[in-house]
Amino acid sequence: MKLRNIAIIAHVDHGKTTLVDKLLQQSGAFRENQRVAERVMDSGDIEKERGITILAKATSVVWGDTRINIVDTPGHADFGGEVERILNMVDGAIVLVDAAEGPMPQTKFVVSKALKIGLRPIVAVNKVDRPDGRPQEVINEVFDLFAALDATDEQLDFPILYGSGRDGWMALTPEGPKDQGLDPLFNLVLEHVPPAKVEEGGFRMLGTLLEANPFLGRIITGRISSGTVKPNQAIKVIDREGNLVEQGRISKILAFRGIERQPIELGEAGDIVSIAGLTKGTVADTFCAPEVNEPILAQPIDPPTVTMSFLVNDSPLAGTEGDKVTSRMIRDRLFREAEGNVTLKIEESGDKDSFFVSGRGELQLAILIETMRREGFELAVSRPRVVFSRDEDGNLLEPIEEVVIDVDEEFSGSVVQKMSERRAEMIEMRPSGGNRQRLLFHAPTRGLIGYQSELLTDTRGTAIMNRLFHAYAPYRGEIPGRRNGVLISNDQGEAVAYALWNLEDRGPMMIEPGWKVYTGMIVGEHNRENDLEVNVLKGKKLTNIRTTSKDEAVRLTPPIRMTLERSLAWIQDDELVEVTPKSIRLRKIHLDPNERKRAERSKESVG
């Protein structure tokens, strides 16, 4: 059967996964009466809850006499490592662009990688039925973007389709016709995307995606570059330098057929398959026949920009909610994650009780923490810090990000002011339709940690911020952090409503009556700059004297809800987030007040 391999590239929320749903439906991958979940490719619980794609996934459809392998890619820059790897597996790309928003930073990031390896893109303008849609201007912006990314003349001569992924149609003009469904897109893929590349020689495949299966063990997905492969065939694994990693036999070969993976008896060159049976081979390794010694070159991966400390949870409430609490369990889980996720870097500390985990952004690390807590882990994590670098002369360099903020005109002034406080440099400001402004900044990564929630507060939830790693540049100086101190519990027990009610004028609370607290735990935000120790266990003194004044029920202001992302952005360097399967608590690193004072004094003497 003829083969085509394509990737669908787009910014977050531009409709990739919804389009894949319709491609599967209209190609007959589902039965007439089959019940299928919306966004069927987002299979993980967190992906379904948040409505975002985190892991790249492959599927395949049959159109006429051709099998089309489709790879759905994530839209967030934090998961860009997934995209960089899967581009090795495909021969063409559909660049999906929102008819109103136009090409956004993440589109630019992935398209630059795709153009660099020579893929010829198809541009599909999605959501043309939006009232604020401007398809013609968006096409001009896409052309300018391709030109700025040094596209070749052949790549600049891209075919264009307009349509709506949700309604399941594509056409050569924004007006339609709409009755042909996605046929124009399928036909364009067959015409425009070259057949799968096949090389001469024995079996070779570059490992691209890794997963653990409870029945089959490690499963590696990739595209076969040359030769064929059968179950029970002897193969070897070599790393990027050509050194032998392991030898073994393939127990099973699986291929994508619709949304299911089915065992096949023969994997042929050009097809995307998954193989099981090996125990050590991982991403970026070459899986090949015993006589082959030349590895396949893997695309270089951009370096991590943010790092966090993962520590064993040593609070008084440790082990009461989770069953995986030891440093050995946390270590094994982190190293297992780093095997399949090439953008993560794990380092052990000297005392073996904490680990430095580096990644692309806070969202990527927050998703990892969220996944671990759902698996039953308890751990404490520090505030995200940026990964600094040095040039040849020894000068300090820091990661700078390209930030695009779409905001209503009335709020643009406060956004510009806040960004300048965070050492951001404004590059461009232009109207983006509907009384909105598009602001482009180059800002240090450390200045953006925690800005998302502040931006939404400043703009009444109307701003959209998109970020993308730009370059390393000279250190831009100090950035002011959180201005308020915290309220710290001075005892262990259960919080009492009467005590919380008496403390309300000190600042907003983060806990509710009946919650367990301990010495050194953060229970609220102080109105002033200093930290304050408070007693949240103090009940009302009872007497046997009746009074005429009614004892009214205590009415409390609802507490601040601290989500995981908000907590990571809010804490300071001397604080930690305690994460368990049921709770997220904030605490000081040193729970004992005397130890805190000693640490503060030693810090001042060093400073």
Tell me the C-alpha distance between 579 and 258, whole Å.
38
pLDDT of residue 30: 54
Q: Does the domain spanning 2-192 belong to CATH 3.40.50.300?
A: yes
Ligand-binding site membership of 76 (annotated): no
For 164-172, the CB contacts below 8 A with 24+ separation are 164/126, 164/127, 164/128, 164/129, 165/15, 165/18, 165/19, 165/22, 165/96, 165/126, 165/127, 166/15, 166/18, 166/22, 166/127, 167/129, 168/22, 168/25, 168/26, 170/124
Contacts of 373 (CB under 8 A, 6+ apart): 322, 579, 580, 581
Known binder of ligand: residue 17?
yes
Mean pLDDT for the stretch of residues 281-291: 86
**pLDDT, tens digit, 9 for 90 and up, residues 426-443:** 998 888 767 788 899 999
In the prediction, which pLDDT does 79 show?
A: 60
Half-sphere exposure of 385 (CA within 13 A, CB side): 14
What is the spatial distance between Cα 23 and Cα 40, in angstroms, rounded to a whole number?
11
Of the candidates 136, 53, 74, 48, the residue with the CA atom closest to the CA atom of residue 100: 136
Return all residues near 246 (Cβ < 8 A) that are at least 6 apart: 236, 237, 278, 279, 280, 281
Contact 189, 91 (CB under 8 A): no
Q: Is 13 marked as binding a ligand?
A: yes
Residue 354, token pair as written in the block: 């904490």
- 184 and 177 Cβ atoms separated by less than 8 Å: no
Question: What is the token pair recorded at 318?
Answer: 């440790």
Say whether pLDDT at 108 is over 60.
Answer: yes
- Whether the pLDDT of residue 40 is over 60: the answer is no
Give me 122's structure tokens. Answer: 């198809």
pLDDT the model gives residue 481: 72
- Mean confidence (pLDDT) of the chain: 84
Calpha distance 505→124 (Å, rounded): 55
Residue 129 assigned as binding residue? yes
pLDDT at residue 41 is higher than 60: no
Q: How confident is residue 309, by pLDDT bands cut at 50, 70 and 90?
A: very high
Cα 411 to Cα 23, 96, 462: the distances in Å are 40, 29, 9
Residues 6+ apart with CB under 8 A from 462: 407, 408, 411
Helix H or strand E segment including 162: strand 160-164
Is residue 212 predicted with pLDDT exceeding 80? no
Q: Residues 98, 127: contact at Cβ < 8 Å?
A: yes
* Per-residue pLDDT tens over the stretch 42-98: 556 665 566 665 566 678 888 888 888 888 777 565 566 666 677 778 888 898 898
String of b and e for 95-128 (b: at least 16 CB within 10 Å)?
bbbbbbbbbbbbbbbbbebbbeeebbbbbbbbbb
| Domain range summary for the chain, segments of one domain joined by + | 2-192, 204-288, 389-474
Judged against a pLDDT cut of 60, whether residue 195 lies above it is answered with yes
Do the annotations mark residue 582 as ligand-binding?
no
Which of helix, strand or coil describes residue 105? helix
Q: Is 538 annotated as a binding residue?
A: no
The predicted structure's pLDDT at residue 39: 47
204-288, what's its fold?
Elongation Factor Tu (Ef-tu); domain 3 (2.40.30)
Please tell me whether 271 is known to bind a ligand: no
Helix (H, G, I), strand (E, B) or coil at 226: strand
Of 3.10.100.10, 3.40.50.2300, 3.30.413.10, 3.30.70.240, the CATH number of 389-474 is: 3.30.70.240
Task: Please report, rounded to a whole number, the percentage of residues in the chain having pLDDT higher than 90.
Answer: 22
**The pLDDT value given to residue 45:** 65
Say whether 18 counts as a known binding-site residue.
Answer: yes
- CA pair distance 425, 421, nearest whole angstrom: 10
Predicted pLDDT at 78: 58
Is 2 assigned a ligand-binding role in the annotation? Answer: no
Query: Residue 167 corresponds to which tokens in the numbers above?
Result: 């309604």
In this predicted structure, what is the pLDDT of residue 49?
Answer: 61
Token digits for 155? 């790549």
∠ CA 519-522-528, rounded to 5° = 120
Q: How many helices (H) and strands (E) does the chain have?
A: 15, 35
**Please, where are the H alpha helices in 434-592?**
445-448, 451-458, 497-502, 564-570
pLDDT for the residue numbered 394: 82
Q: Which two tokens stand for residue 560?
A: 């601040």
Q: Which helix (H) or strand (E) holds 160?
A: strand 160-164
CA–CA gap between residue 90 and residue 69 (Å, rounded): 8
Q: What is the dihedral of CA 430, 436, 440, 444, to 10 degrees?
A: 150
Nearest to 75 by CA among 464, 567, 565: 464
Taking the whole predicted model, whether its pTM rises above 0.75 is answered as yes
Query: Which residue did the predictor score with more confidence, 312 or 21?
Result: 312
pLDDT of residue 492: 92
Is residue 126 a contact partner of residue 96, using CB atoms and an 8 Å limit? yes
| CA–CA dist 336, 88 (Å, integer) | 23
Residue 377 has pLDDT above 90, yes or no: yes
Q: Which two tokens stand for residue 4?
A: 């085509």
- The model's pLDDT over 496-528, given as tens digits with 9 standing for 90+, comes to 988 999 899 999 999 999 999 999 999 999 998
Highest mean pLDDT among 91-95, 281-285, 554-558: 91-95
Look at residue 576 and tell me whether its pLDDT is greater than 90.
yes
Kind plus residue range of the DSSP H or E element containing 192: helix 183-192
| Distance between CA atoms of residues 607 and 81, nearest Å | 38
pLDDT at 579 over 90: yes
Q: Is the Cα dihedral 503, 509, 514, 517 positive or negative?
A: negative
The pLDDT score that the predictor gives to residue 44 is: 60
Q: Is 418 annotated as a binding residue?
A: no
Q: What is the pLDDT of residue 533?
A: 93
pLDDT > 70 in the chain, percent: 89
